[in-house]
Amino acid sequence: MRDTGYHQRQNNSRRRVSYDEYVLAAALTLARRHRPVWSWRHWRRICRCGSDLPCRSRHPIPINRGHWPSQDAPR
């Protein structure tokens, strides 16, 4: 019988993510959180995070530069 449920989710959460997959996931998250939407309260378009456009809020990506691939590394 195949193991499902908790153990499958636990194994998936611990799998290593490639740098390209991480950057793509971070970019999609930023695009989802920081996009123009219509505000009926302010009667204009604002950023979805609540800031005025253009949104100049810091968009930190939680990755240490030590983990980034080097320039001369093969792709």
Q: DSSP string of the chain?
A: ----THHHHHHHHTS---HHHHHHHHHHHHHHHS-EEEETTTTEEEETTSPPSSP---------GGGSPPTTS--
* Cβ neighbours for 29, distance < 8 A, ≥ 6 positions apart: none
Residue extents of the structural domains in the chain = 17-58
Question: What pLDDT shows up at residue 73?
Answer: 56
Query: What is the chain's mean pLDDT, rounded?
Result: 71
Give pLDDT, residue 61.
61
Q: What is the pLDDT of residue 66?
A: 62
Q: Is pTM, for the whole model, over 0.75?
A: no
Residue 37 binned pLDDT confidence (cut-offs 50, 70, 90):
confident
Reported as a single tens digit per residue, the pLDDT across 45-67 is 888 887 887 776 666 665 565 65
